[in-house]
Structure 1
Amino acid sequence: MKIRDRLKRINFEKRRVSFAPKITQQTLINIATVIIGSFIFAIGVNSFMIAGNLGEGGVTGLAIILYYAFDISPALSNLVLNSILLAVGFKYLSKRSMYYTIVVVILTSFFLWVTETWHVQSDEILVNTVFGGMFVGLGIGLIIRIGATTAGTTILARLVNKYMDINVSYALLFFDLVVITIGLTVMTLEQVLLTVIALYIATKVMDFIIEGMNPKKAITIISDHPERLGKMINSEIRRGVTIMNGRGFYTQEDKDILYVVINKNQLTRLKRLIKRYDENAFVVVHDVNSVLGNYFI
């Protein structure tokens, strides 16, 4: 009885639990990007690479090898092999990335099945090589750009990027070359070499999509006239400038160092203006992969 009385006196707070998933506008954009990227990737594989009797990298490359050797549908083998590798991805990659990747695996396998008979026949094998590389690189680039992967060796490439800070595109190229070497068992040396060209094109296109269409440059300027150059960059280039304190090791003199991030297409103009205002200025140009923050457009 005492326990029952105590329970009656306790004011239990009623909580409303909502199981409705929160779908934002960005989520819808990401899903649309994944669908488009998967479709473009499938066209590149079926319409150009397989149509030209070429190979591919990663799990898709293994699926093509199985297709050439045993006539197994690339859509089926792509789904099975990637499903196995997804277990590795769940352990080492973020859950958000892997959820998108599951969707990618299903969509790429589906589109590989839909486009199985979409073959672009050409007397010039370089047409298949170039456009196959472009379509594959564009598709994978769109998928990776939103934080997903195409599973397979892309998971391994993202792991290398995460723990060794190596560019995803070039890590992927390395793993793809391993698969291409295995492709010598079912393809001629010429076909393998053309596949390597296609993979290189895919890597450059992918890099372009991931890094952005308008790469940035970071400029470090050491000058005897930092105020003049800073005002010039503000007024004529319309970029904010950071002034850092520095000191020459040999002279032990204090120096103001200017640091600014600009669009690549502004670099030539900035160099010309720096030379006009201080031709003795020491200028270092750095490549910038990405810029975060609300102060840069």
Structure 2
Amino acid sequence: MLKDNIKKLIIVLLGALLNAISLNLFLIPANVYASGFTGLAQLISNILEQFTPVYISTGVLLFLLNIPVTILGWKKVGKSFTLFSFLSVAMTTVFLTIIPLQPLSDDILLNAAFGGVIAAVGVGLTLKWGASTGGLDIIAMVLSRMNDKPVGTYFFTMNAIIIVTAGFIYGWEKALYTLVALYVSTRVIDAIHTRHEKLTAMIITKKGEELKRAIQSKLVRGITTVPAKGAFTNEEKEMMIIVVTRYELYDLEKIIKQVDPHAFTNIVQTTGIFGFFRKD
């Protein structure tokens, strides 16, 4: 566990650093907005600077916005997930203070594309190792558990608000370039981790009972088991079918590797569910 937590800590720090680089060297100088709470913090910072005598940096606003979200996540989502997510936000704020706010290019399209790619690599790695970059990830996770609506609905709503507001205040060209950054980010995160809200895992194993107990001790999810036989060896095996959220994928992978490293697992996108799916 200690070794896993150290690895996760290093990944979270790397993700925070990449997020800060994408903001200070690409997105913020070009007035192109990131997704979620990061983009919201950018937008509020710009509005305060332009229309009021008050200036609060994007990093500080990002930290402040995530304080109530962290409290919510601690109560509703899980302590380990929330702790690492808040650490990601805190270190992003620190790195935003350290890294100079200096554009590497005057081309707004290059800034949108590279900023989106670098941020997405940080987010994708963080998600892959069982944490998040905080903010909207935690809110969407809590809300989706309450009413079982897709997580993507909340991301779309928040990003739509950011894009429309930026378009009205700073011109629609900036809003369109923000769309470029968001599209690039989504595609890169898809390649590294997944943007799919729910996933189905089909696990072929010879340690069915042991693996079932281990999964149920960590994840509150139903499991369907089906008898299976190896076509080449004729060995009797068991296929376990389980539907999880994208945030539970890291824990599931870790459990399978610990209990049965030789298990064969197929992860597929789940586009819809009919029937009972536990939300807690």
Q: TM-score, normalised by structure 1?
A: 0.62
1:108-187 to 2 correspondences below 5 Å? 108-123=92-107, 125-163=108-146, 168=151, 171-187=154-170
Counterpart amino acid of 2:72?
V
How many percent of aligned residue pairs carry the same amino acid? 25
Of 66, 74, 85, the residue aligned with 1:90 is 74
**1:37–1:240: structure 2 CA closer, same or farther, 3 Å change rule?**
farther
8 Å Cα contact 2:66/2:86 also seen in 1: no
Following superposition, the deviation at residue 35 of structure 1 comes to 0.3
Distance (Å, rounded) in 2 between the aligned partners of 1:129 and 1:142: 20
Q: Which runs of 5+ in 1 are unaligned?
A: 1-22, 219-229, 244-258, 262-288
Q: Which string of whole-angstrom CA distances, capped at 9 and with x for unpartnered residues, describes residues 236-286 of structure 1? A: xx999979xxxxxxxxxxxxxxx899xxxxxxxxxxxxxxxxxxxxxxxxx
8 Å Cα contact 1:35/1:107 also seen in 2: yes
**1:216–1:98: structure 2 CA closer, same or farther, 3 Å change rule?**
closer
8 Å Cα contact 2:69/2:139 also seen in 1: no
8 Å Cα contact 1:51/1:121 also seen in 2: no
Q: Are 2:16 and 1:38 aligned? A: yes
The answer for the alignment partner of 1:296 in structure 2 is: 264
For structure 1, which segment, 203-212 or 38-47, has the greater mean C-alpha deviation from structure 2 after superposition? 203-212
Between Structure 1 and Structure 2, whose CA radius of gyration is higher?
A: 1
Distance (Å, rounded) in 1 between the aligned partners of 2:2 and 2:43: 40
Distance (Å, rounded) in 2 between the aligned partners of 1:167 and 1:206: 17
Following superposition, the deviation at residue 217 of structure 1 comes to 9.5
8 Å Cα contact 1:67/1:73 also seen in 2: yes
SS in 1 for 2:34: coil
1:40-55 to 2 correspondences below 5 Å? 40-55=18-33
Distance (Å, rounded) in 2 between the aligned partners of 1:79 and 1:158: 19
8 Å Cα contact 1:37/1:139 also seen in 2: yes
Following superposition, the deviation at residue 162 of structure 1 comes to 3.7
Following superposition, the deviation at residue 50 of structure 1 comes to 1.1
The answer for the alignment partner of 1:81 in structure 2 is: 65
Following superposition, the deviation at residue 118 of structure 1 comes to 3.8
Q: Which string of whole-angstrom CA distances, capped at 9 and with x for unpartnered residues, describes residues 206-244 of structure 1? A: 2322239xx9997xxxxxxxxxxx99x845xx999979x
8 Å Cα contact 1:169/1:206 also seen in 2: no
**1:195–1:130: structure 2 CA closer, same or farther, 3 Å change rule?**
same
Q: Which runs of 5+ in 2 are unaligned?
A: 50-54, 203-227, 266-280
SS in 1 for 2:133: coil
Distance (Å, rounded) in 1 between the aligned partners of 2:69 and 2:200: 35
Deviant stretches of 4+, over 4 Å: 163-171, 215-218, 238-243, 289-292
Following superposition, the deviation at residue 159 of structure 1 comes to 2.2
**1:164–1:113: structure 2 CA closer, same or farther, 3 Å change rule?**
same
Q: TM-score, normalised by structure 2?
A: 0.65
**1:66–1:217: structure 2 CA closer, same or farther, 3 Å change rule?**
closer
8 Å Cα contact 1:169/1:203 also seen in 2: no
Q: Which string of whole-angstrom CA distances, capped at 9 and with x for unpartnered residues, describes residues 126-174 of structure 1? A: 2111111111211112222222222221212222444455665664344
SS in 1 for 2:170: coil
Distance (Å, rounded) in 2 between the aligned partners of 1:49 and 1:239: 56
**1:26–1:58: structure 2 CA closer, same or farther, 3 Å change rule?**
same
Following superposition, the deviation at residue 203 of structure 1 comes to 1.8
